[in-house]
Amino acid sequence: KQEVTQIPAALSVPEGENLVLNCSFTDSAIYNLQWFRQDPGKGLTSLLLIQSSQREQTSGRLNASLDKSSGRSTLYIAASQPGDSATYLCAAPSGSARQLTFGSGTQLTVLP
Amino acid sequence: GAGVSQSPSNKVTEKGKDVELRCDPISGHTALYWYRQSLGQGLEFLIYFQGNSAPDKSGLPSDRFSAERTGGSVSTLTIQRTQQEDSAVYLCASSAGGGLEQYFGPGTRLTVT
């Protein structure tokens, strides 16, 4: 059974800092891994999807890496802005349906 | 193009009543997933549809929960005889196929009083 863990649970940084969010998973036989953003009271917004054959995926100031052998993924946010404040979730597919197993999230606050 | 939509956005119901939650996936997406997000439980998988078939119902918490999908499009999640522990946000996601990138709707917040 896939288990996903995210560290830290919460993070507060001043505007402009670069930061790294961590995600680990127990079953390395994954097809891909997705990072999401969730704003309070809202649904999930897909940020990046990394295929198992990739090591990195970039979108704007976001860069996600995937190391299947160690069961880890990181989300790097460059030059953080107050608008980046949200909860960030990573999720790995598992089971025959490839349903997503989610971590508990990292609540990010970027202080102006 | 239009994303995943869900209705209602909020639902307050009395304990013991039945509720229906609706999901409209992205047009052309064959895979549809229901998840539940509740305090203390995080996000948990409920059921998966490929077309109109539900090969994986393993996440449904009890036989009070059921779901159907018609025309390979709209899906309805029904909860019978609601209980207070059913209070949560119910999220729907669709993808072009099982295992591909999932896109989520805004969710339905269910409150059982």
Q: Which amino acid is at A20?
A: V
Nearest CA in chain A to B50: A97
pLDDT of residue B67: 97
Q: Which amino acid is at B100?
A: L
pLDDT of residue A42: 87
How far apart CA B28 and CA A64 sit, in angstroms, is: 28
* A26 touching B (Cβ < 8 Å): no
Q: How far from chain centre, in Å, is Cα A38?
A: 11
Using an 8 Å CB-CB cutoff, list chain B residues near A42: 106-107
- Give pLDDT tens digits for B15-72: 999 999 999 999 999 999 999 999 877 899 999 999 999 988 889 999 999 999 999 8
Q: How far from chain centre, in Å, is Cα B28?
A: 18
- Phi, psi dihedral angles at B73 (to 5 degrees): -130, -100
Tokens encoding B24: 């409209």
Cβ distance of A46 and B35 shorter than 8 Å: no
Using an 8 Å CB-CB cutoff, list chain A residues near B105: 43
Alpha-carbon dihedral sign for residues B103, B105, B107, B108: negative
Tokens encoding B53: 């078939």
How far apart CA B109 and CA A16 sit, in angstroms, is: 35
What is the mean pLDDT for each group of 10 consecutive residues in chain A (112 residues)?
93 96 92 93 92 92 95 97 97 83 96 96
- Phi, psi dihedral angles at B85 (to 5 degrees): -70, -5
Of residues A34, A43, A97, nearest to B98 (C-beta): A97
How far apart CA A60 and CA A75 sit, in angstroms, is: 12
pLDDT of residue A1: 84
Does B1 score more than 60 pLDDT?
no
Cβ distance of B45 and A99 shorter than 8 Å: yes
Beta bridge partners of A94: A99
pLDDT of residue A13: 96
- B92, B32 contact by CB (below 8 A): yes
Cβ distance of A100 and B102 shorter than 8 Å: yes
- Phi, psi dihedral angles at A48 (to 5 degrees): -150, 145
Of the candidates B64, B67, B66, the residue with the CA atom closest to the CA atom of residue B83: B64
Of residues B59, B98, B104, nearest to A43 (C-beta): B104
- Give pLDDT tens digits for B99-108: 788 999 999 9
Residues 6+ apart with CB under 8 A from A63: A56, A57, A75, A76, A78
Q: Which residues of B touch A (CB under 8 A)?
A: 33, 35, 42-43, 45, 48, 50, 55-56, 58-59, 91, 93, 98-99, 101-107
Q: Which amino acid is at B1?
A: G
Preceding omega of A14 cis (within 30 degrees of 0): no
